[in-house]
Structure 1
Amino acid sequence: MSKVLLVHAKGGPPLGHVLSRAAAKAQVHLLALSALPPAVAGDAHRLCASVVTPTDADRGDLVSLIVARAKAVGADAVLTFSEYAVVAVAEACEALGLPGAGGAAALARDKRLMRRTWHEHGLPQPEFRPVATEADLHEAATRLPFPLLLKAAWSAGSTAHQIIRSPHEVSGAWRRSREVMAESAQLGYAELHVAEADADFVVEQIVTGTAAEWFDDPGWGDYVSVEGVVARGVFHPVCVSGRMPTVEPFTERAGITPAQLSPAAQDRIVALARDSVDALGLRDCGIHTEIKLGADGRMWLIETAARFGGAMTVPQIEEVFDLDLIGMLVDHLLGRPVAWPERALTPAQARGAAGSLVVLAVDGAGAAWQDRRVWDFPAVADRVPLSRGSRLSVVAESSVADGSTVPVYDPAAGANTMAALCLLSAADPRTVLRDFETLVDALPRILPAAQLEEVSR
């Protein structure tokens, strides 16, 4: 039986989903760089031939660690679904002579290199400057139009994003972003391979997006993501996912599969995603490309990742289009034939729709809840009036336990302050969007109020 080394770290699709699909295709050996979520720890030991958690001393040379473990188990393929381990796994695959993202993986991880590559290819994106020091940021602020967005070059989940509206906000934004990156590293949300990656930033112009010219219904966010795969250097788009509007500064609230776009609009979006992926030169990996939508048909590239979309994007695609992307990628890396979609699938080909909602302590307008609340999914499932036929569930491994106080939303920390991740299935994308709006509005009323002693804990 073929053997696969799966490198687990924070982020990506839920580990439970990944393990069950990968184990159906090969013998799985798990190298856990992050602690296993309690909700799936038992399944991990049941589904995997081995589970190894390296010591801190073993992590000094992550590529060598992965290579050694792959050789020890006789792995025929090595893969990860975590943003924070993508580069290390790509380099390990190169050393082992196995298919992987390739030497260009860092271009799809370091936002400075990514934007420089796209600039060299003449692709549309916000004007930007790389910054490594506070002085660099002050200099960039004299050359770019306000407002600006400061991003950590190696972050994910909108972590350490800071909007800078005037020159006097530059120093404060720099300090706060550096603090958040340090805090994220303590939580395990940080690049695992590149030394001092938390010191690398990029600042960029904030372009004005609009959803009104792209969607027939109100309520959609002004950006989308194209999900797909690169197989032997050829990009295969799978579908386009839509979004709810972000929470300031640009924290993602919900993704919906598929996006309710016209065929012509989807074709234009997918074409730009293809250009972005081709420019990066990736070889064998999942792909997640985010694109900002503007007026008069304008688009700007936000980022491309050499891995599948996080949260519940992969399970959503499986439910809606009956495609097991995890299993298909495992098959491909093992040299088995895979029938990738000939072109991006459309809403007309979907079997209903599905979406994932990140529970944050903010209302539909992005304002903080007026008081602290306790997460209680049974109360949510029982009392939120969803559409007929809609089904709501909670992703336990990505959520706090029932009875836990919902964290205060921190704009700089982004998704680090989420309380839960919910999955909703419905008849069509419009219904998912409407039900999510209902859910967001209902949460601060339905969830129990936190007592003072709960908040202090």
Structure 2
Amino acid sequence: MSKVLLVHAKGGPPLGHVLSRAAARAEVHLLTLSALPPTAADAARTLCASVVTPTDAQRSDLVSLIVSRAKAVGADAVFTFSEYAVVAVAEACEALGLAGAGSAAALARDKRLMRRTWQEHGLPQPEFRPVATEADLHEAAVHLPFPLLLKAAWSAGSTAHQIIRSRREVSAAWRRSREVMAESALLGYAELHVAEAEADFVVEQIVTGTAADWFDESGWGDYVSVEGVVADGVFRPVCLSGRMPTVEPFTERAGITPALLSQDAQDRIVALARESVDALGLRDCGTHTEIKLGADGSMWLIETAARFGGAMTVPQVEEVFGLDLIGMLVDHLLGRPVEWPEHALTPAQAHGAAGSLVVLAVDGKGEAWQDRKVWDFSAVAADVPLGRGSELSVVAESSLADGSVVPVYDPAAGANTMAALCLLSATDARTVLRDFETLVDALPRVLPAAQPEEVSR
């Protein structure tokens, strides 16, 4: 039986989902760079031939650690679904002579390199400047049009995003983004391979998006993601996911599969995604490309990742289109034949719809809840009216335990202040969108109030 080494770290699809699909294809050995979620610990013990957690000393040379462990177990493939381990795993695969994202993986991780590469290829994107110091940011603010968005170059989940509306806000934005990156590192949400990556930033123009020119009904966000894979250097689009509007600054609230777009709109979006992936030169990996939608058919590239979409994107694709992306990628990395879709799948080919909602302490307008609440999924399930045939569940691996106080939403911390992740299955994407709107409006009403002693803990 073929053997694979899965490198686990924060982020990506739920570990339990990944392990069950990978173990159906090969003998799985797990290298854990982040603590196993309690809800996935049993699956790891049952489904993995070995589970190894390295010491801090061993982590000092992550590529060598991965190479050594792969050789020790005789791995025929090495892979990860975590944004924070993508570059290290790609370099390890290069050293081992195994299929992987390739030497260009850093271009799909470091937002400065990514944007520079797209600029060289003439692809549409916001104006930008790389920044490494506060002085760099002040200089960029002289040349770029306001408002601006400051991003950590190696972050994920909208962490450390800061909107800058004038030069007076530059210094405060720089300090806050640096603070959030340091806080995120303590939580395990930080690049694992590149030294001092938390010091690298990019600032860019905020372009004006509009969903009205792309979707027939209101409620959709002004950007989409193209889910896909690169196999032997060839980009294979799988499908598109839509979004609800983000919470300021640009924290994602919900992803919905499929995106309800016309065939022409989908074709144009996929064509741009193909150009973006091709420009980066990736070889064998999942891809997740986010694209901002503007008026009169305009589009801007937000980012491309050399891994599948995080949260519940992969399970949603499997539920709606019947594609086990984890298993398919494992098969490909092991050299087995895989039948990828010939074209990006459309809403007409979907069997129902699915979406995932990040529970944040903000209402539908992005305003903070007036009172502190306690997370209690049973109350949500019992009291929120959903569409006929809709089924709501909570992703325990990505959620606080019932009885936990919902964190105050911090715009700079983004998804770091989420309380839970909910999964919804419905008859169609419109129903998912409307159910999520209902859910967002109902949460501050149906969740129990937090007691003063709970808030002060």
| Distance in 1, Cα, partners of 2:214 & 2:51 | 46
Aligned to 2:295: 295
**Partner amino acid for 1:250?**
F
Aligned to 2:200: 200
Aligned to 1:328: 328
- Verify: 1:447 aligned to 2:447, yes or no: yes
- Verify: 1:382 aligned to 2:382, yes or no: yes
Runs of 4+ aligned structure 1 residues displaced above 3 Å come to none
**Partner amino acid for 2:195?**
A
Aligned to 2:54: 54
Give the Å deviation of 1:148: 0.1
What are the Cα deviations for residues 376-430 of structure 1, in whole angstroms up to 9, with x where unaligned?
0011011100001000000000000000000000000000000000000001110
Task: Find the residue that maps to 1:303 and give its secondary structure.
Answer: strand
What are the Cα deviations for residues 421-449 of structure 1, in whole angstroms up to 9, with x where unaligned?
00000011100000000000000000000
| Distance in 2, Cα, partners of 1:49 & 1:453 | 45
- Verify: 1:239 aligned to 2:239, yes or no: yes
Give the Å deviation of 1:20: 0.3
The number of residues matched between the two structures is 457
| Distance in 2, Cα, partners of 1:85 & 1:316 | 23
What are the Cα deviations for residues 267-301 of structure 1, in whole angstroms up to 9, with x where unaligned?
00000000000000000000000000000000000
- Give runs of aligned pairs for residues 13-412 of structure 1, distance below 5 A: 13-412=13-412
| Distance in 1, Cα, partners of 2:418 & 2:446 | 17
Aligned to 1:423: 423
| Distance in 2, Cα, partners of 1:347 & 1:221 | 17
| Distance in 1, Cα, partners of 2:43 & 2:80 | 18
| Distance in 2, Cα, partners of 1:259 & 1:161 | 25
Any gaps of 5 or more consecutive residues in structure 2? none
Instruction: State the superposition RMSD in angstroms.
Output: 0.3
| Distance in 2, Cα, partners of 1:296 & 1:357 | 29
Task: Find the residue that maps to 1:424 and give its secondary structure.
Answer: strand
What are the Cα deviations for residues 347-392 of structure 1, in whole angstroms up to 9, with x where unaligned?
0000000000000000000000001000000110111000010000
| Distance in 2, Cα, partners of 1:147 & 1:43 | 46
Task: Find the residue that maps to 1:291 and give its secondary structure.
Answer: strand
| Distance in 2, Cα, partners of 1:354 & 1:217 | 18
The normalised TM-score by structure 1 is: 1.00
What are the Cα deviations for residues 321-348 of structure 1, in whole angstroms up to 9, with x where unaligned?
0000000000000000000000000000
| Distance in 1, Cα, partners of 2:131 & 2:423 | 37
**Partner amino acid for 1:140?**
A
Task: Find the residue that maps to 1:309 and give its secondary structure.
Answer: coil
**Partner amino acid for 2:330?**
V
| Distance in 2, Cα, partners of 1:41 & 1:182 | 28
Task: Find the residue that maps to 1:236 and give its secondary structure.
Answer: strand
**Partner amino acid for 2:280?**
L
Task: Find the residue that maps to 1:437 and give its secondary structure.
Answer: helix
| Distance in 1, Cα, partners of 2:189 & 2:333 | 27
Task: Find the residue that maps to 1:290 and give its secondary structure.
Answer: strand
What are the Cα deviations for residues 67-103 of structure 1, in whole angstroms up to 9, with x where unaligned?
0000000000000000000000000000000000000
| Distance in 2, Cα, partners of 1:366 & 1:69 | 46
**Partner amino acid for 1:40?**
A
**Partner amino acid for 2:284?**
D
Task: Find the residue that maps to 1:78 and give its secondary structure.
Answer: strand
Task: Find the residue that maps to 2:143 and give its secondary structure.
Answer: coil
**Partner amino acid for 1:101?**
A
| Distance in 2, Cα, partners of 1:333 & 1:382 | 44
| Distance in 2, Cα, partners of 1:343 & 1:233 | 16
**Partner amino acid for 1:244?**
M
Any gaps of 5 or more consecutive residues in structure 1? none
Task: Find the residue that maps to 1:339 and give its secondary structure.
Answer: coil
Give the Å deviation of 1:43: 1.1
